[in-house]
Structure 1
Amino acid sequence: MFHHVPYLHFQMQKLSKILRRKDNTDMRSGATKQNERITNLDTVRGLATLGILVMNAVNFGISDSAYHNLDAGGSNNPFDWVVGVAGEIFIDQKTMALFSMLFGAGIVLFADRAVEKGRKPVLLSLWRNLLLFGFGSLHVLLWQGDILTLYACCAPVVLLFRKRTPRVLFSWGIGFFVLTILHGVITQGLVNNGETELGSFWSGDSSMGDEVGFWFLVDTVCRALGCMLIGVALYRSGFISGKSERALYQKTIRWGLGFGLPLATAGVLWQALADYDPEVAIIGQLPNTVATIPLALAFLSIISLWDSRPSTPIHDRVRSVGQMAFTNYLTQTVFGVVVLSAIFDKGDLGRGGVALFILCVWCIQLVWSKLWLAHFRFGPAEWVWRTMTYRKYQPLRRTTQKEAS
């Protein structure tokens, strides 16, 4: 499997060089005017937010181990298996990768605009992410799968890298992925030698060994931070903002899908053919990890090309979900905990039933986000965060029809 890693690094360097040709002298080529919204970011963020629910709903409604192990619960019939396999190949790790790339780009976009407004970018960004950590600490009381605290802790590192070149950012981003892959191989060896236990990572509610728990933490941090740094590179080049040439997006789609889909599929087949043996529990995840960046970039390119088409009502609704990503992420947790863990007992529904729940929440968020933003400038959570960030009341209600459009 590891012969893919140098190839991935080589291909990412090629993409980095292509992106840098667009503007090799201005490190702020992705920056925009102070009040200009980048619709491509809203569109990508909206779809990533909807995709995050696909990942989290399994934890809400089935079990933590069922998220990693399709055989650990929720796979009661062929349709459940189809849903599970499709989620592993197309959604698992990829939507979080997109979300992390957007978060990294957002940190730098916020800092750039702070500079334009004469504010102190680093101090304001650190304060903003300290608040995010606080929100995450409250969120984790409702659900232990919170990512807000993780993102807040990664933010200072991203700020340290914000002025680096795309090549350096890509190299560091890939380096974090290589680190977690190597660590995964080592941890699997400890499991196979009986030196630690998989525990709830793989099946049941038994205790997870310290080494497995540490790998899980390192893996989550490395993937998130790696994607954030890549996101900064994509923002500096204009790629993530939808400003690159159409041919580059098309090339990225061909390469990303051609390399990533077979690799992600191979990882799922590896575990299935091994009958989800604990001896491949961690290393069986690694092909999917290697496929994450190519597939995330391919999906980003597909979304960017779609966003560039003439705007339709569905474009507007997806962008509205993206503008209210913070609020929608939190409300997904509320829906998941109330419906899948309270109204239903956890484990009552299979993956097909959970998929129906996901579709219902998607419809609600696509409708309510557009309706809310027709009257208000920010989502509820975004408004609280923004007001606390600037320590000044931020006008919430829209005052003109033009502002609502």
Structure 2
Amino acid sequence: MSASQRYLEMDALRGFAVMGILAINIAAFAQPEMAFVNPLVSSQVSGLDLGSWAANFILFDGKMRGLFSILFGASTALVIERAIASGQSATKVHFSRMFWLAIFGLFHFFFLWIGDILFLYAGSGCVLFLFRNWSAERLIRWGVIAYVVGAILLITSLASMLSLLEQAAQANPPREVLDRISEIYAELGTLPADVAAETARLQGGFSGLLNYKLSEQWSTPLENLMLGPIETIPLMMIGMGLYKNGFILGQESRAAYGKIAGWMMAVSLPCFIALAGIAYARDFNTIWMMNITQAWSSLPRLLMIIGYVALLILVIQRFRDSRLLQRVAAAGRAAFSNYLGTSIVMTFIFYGWGLGYFEQFGRFELQLFVLGAWLLMLLWSRPWLMRFRYGPLEWLWRSLAKGQVQPMRLT
């Protein structure tokens, strides 16, 4: 894709997504892994921190990742379309891109941050290619069906943990029930000893963390591929369909976008507010939180993701000529660099091999780091792209996928 052939809607949507993702991921950079699910796992918790969790859960958690997945599907359709139009092999172009994306993902996971999604996207993208010739209607219909089926499976699967919790609350619960619940907490890594060990590991040196990943977590990227059929692939299918029917390109009427945004938000927003209320009522018990954040939120999440697409397209079209919107779009054009660049900056700030501020801030304070990163994205992306065709890592990915160094500087 040349620098002159851009869709502002897709670029800006991607910019909003890469910025929004950090609002959620910041807790996973700066606090123990399961604090991402349960804010009480962190040692830094205040009323403001719980309020920050609630706001992020309601507005961002899973929605920005979902928006990113939809945009990945749309971009995949665009790349395939342009490969065919230029006489290239769509198969070769696509799978070369996915191969190198997987390599980037493995590098990201082992050398930077355990929360990588690039390897998952590469694996899901390989499957997505099978549906490239489907119509927009078919892609959206089966994407929604697959998503709903995955959500139902997830809900029923995690419900078994709640059943155990209910049995344990009864008088004289069976020993095997108590043992199984203890095993679940151990598997989730929320026992105090596990949290302390994780904290010490992340506050330690780089070599110790790398050795732990290579010896204890080497299979995690492969295990994460199981998330593909449950959420990622269905959302990518929907995104591919929304590109083909022009919805994600802003080709519907403003009235249609307004109606869709209004209905999607009107249904999904109260659901998330209610789920946040349940979390408070259940004292943020980890088993309840797994059900609330990973399972029960999945169906209203799809509605809010689509609502965000429609709402943000209205915003993009209304402010398309503003300097701020242009900067957001530039951040989206350099989303790959911004995503990996964020990992570099945040792990340096919080991990022991850098500044070592891990577990030194609560969620509310961490939002200041988010605002700082947003400002950095907005400041560097547009000036860079006024001089160069691609972001630095976009250029590297493109050069590797094509097997030759690509022209970088604008002429």
User: Which position in structure 2 is the counterpart of 1:23?
Assistant: none
Question: Per-residue deviation at 1:365?
Answer: 1.0
Letter in 2 for 1:340: F
2:348 corresponds, among 316, 321, 338, to 338
| 1:288 equivalent among 287, 292, 297 | 297
Q: Larger relative contact order (C-alpha < 8 A, sep ≥ 6)?
A: 2
- Report whether the alignment pairs 1:266 with 2:266: no
| Alignment match, 2:79 | 110
Tell whether 2:336 aligns with 1:326: yes
Task: Name the counterpart of 1:51.
Answer: 20
Residues 295 and 183 of structure 1, relative CA distance in 2, 3 Å threshold: closer
Q: Which residue of 1 aligns with 2:206?
A: none
TM-score, normalising length: structure 2? 0.83
Computed over aligned residues only, the root mean square deviation of the Cα atoms, in angstroms, reads 2.4
**Which residue is 2:10 aligned to?**
41
| Matching residue's letter, 1:149 | F
Q: What per-residue deviation string (whole Å, max 9, x for no partner) do you get for residues 144-176 of structure 1?
A: 111110000001211111222233222332223
Matches of 1:361 and 1:261 in 2, distance apart? Answer: 27
Per the TM alignment, residue 224 of structure 1 is displaced from its structure 2 partner at its CA by 1.4
Equivalent of 1:92 in 28, 41, 61: 61
Tell me whether 1:176 sits opposite 2:163 in the alignment: no
Q: Does 1:131 align with 2:100?
A: yes
Distance in 2, matches of 1:34 and 1:111, equals 17
Supply the distance in 2 between the matched residues of 1:74 and 1:300 (Cα, whole angstroms).
36
Q: Deviations over 1:181-206 (max 9, x none)?
A: 32342233157434451446472437
2:159 paired residue among 179, 188, 191 = 188
Moved more, 265-274 or 254-263: 265-274
Q: How far, CA to CA, are the matches of 1:293 and 1:202 in structure 2?
A: 28
Does the C-alpha gap of structure 1 residues 279 and 396 become closer, same or farther in structure 2, counting only changes over 3 Å? closer
Give the match for residue 22 of structure 1: none
Q: What TM-score do you get using the length of structure 1 for normalisation?
A: 0.84
Residue of structure 1 equivalent to 2:244: 236
Q: Which residue of 2 aligns with 1:159?
A: 129
Residue identity in the other structure for 2:297: N
Q: Distance in 2 between matches of 1:331 and 1:156?
A: 25
Alignment correspondent of 1:307 = 316
CA contact (8 A) 1:202 1:278 kept: no
Q: Please give the secondary structure, in 2, of the residue aligned with 1:119.
A: coil
Give the direction of change, closer, same or farther, for the CA distance of 1:344–1:327 in structure 2 (3 Å limit). same
Whether contact under 8 Å (1:75, 1:84) holds in the other structure is: no
Deviations 1:121-154, CA, capped at 9 Å, x for gaps = 0221011110110111111111111111000000
Q: 1:201 to 1:51 in 2, by over 3 A?
A: farther
Aligned residues: 364
In the TM superposition, residue 111 of structure 1 has moved relative to its aligned partner by 0.4
Deviates more, 1:220-229 or 1:89-98: 220-229
Deviations 1:330-369 (A, max 9, x none): 0100111011223243211100121001111111110011
**Any conservation in 2 of the 1:184–1:215 contact (CA below 8 Å)?**
no
Residue 143 of structure 1 pairs with residue 110 of structure 2: no
How has the CA–CA distance of structure 1 residues 68 and 202 changed in structure 2, closer, same or farther, with 3 Å as cutoff? farther
Write the distance in 1 (CA, Å) between the matches of 2:69 and 2:6: 19
CA displacement 1:30-74 (0-9 Å, x = unmatched): xx9995211100000001000111121111001211111122226
Structure 2 equivalent of residue 16 of structure 1: none
Counterpart residue type for residue 394 of structure 1? Q
| Deviation for aligned residue 1:101 | 0.2
Q: 1:295–1:215: structure 2 CA closer, same or farther, 3 Å change rule? A: farther
Amino acid in structure 2 at the alignment position of 1:85: A
Deviates more, 1:303-312 or 1:94-103: 303-312
Preserved CA contact (<8 Å) 2:271 2:300: yes
Contact 1:42–1:320 (8 Å) recurs in 2: yes
Maintained 8 Å contact 1:52/1:96: yes
- Could you list the runs of 5+ residues in structure 1 that have no partner in the other structure? 1-31, 208-212, 400-405
1:330–1:221: structure 2 CA closer, same or farther, 3 Å change rule? farther
Q: Is the 8 A contact 1:180 1:222 kept in 2?
A: yes
- The range that moved more, 145-154 or 192-201, is 192-201
Q: Percent identity?
A: 29
Higher mean C-alpha deviation, range 333-342 or range 143-152: 333-342
Aligned to 2:263: 255
Contact 1:68–1:202, Cα closer than 8 Å, also in 2:
no
One-letter code aligned to 1:145: G
For 1:66, the equivalent position in structure 2 comes to 35
What letter is aligned with 2:393? A
CA distance in 1: counterparts of 2:315 and 2:72, whole angstroms: 21
Which blocks of at least 5 consecutive residues in structure 2 are unaligned? Answer: 165-176, 198-219
The one-letter amino acid paired with 1:203 is T
Tell me how far apart the structure 1 counterparts of residues 22 and 292 of structure 2 sit (CA, whole Å): 23
Equivalents in 2 of 1:367, 1:215: separation in Å? 37
Which residue in 2 is equivalent to 1:9? none
Aligned mates of 1:122, 1:46 — CA distance in 2: 28
Confirm or deny that 1:395 pairs with 2:404: no
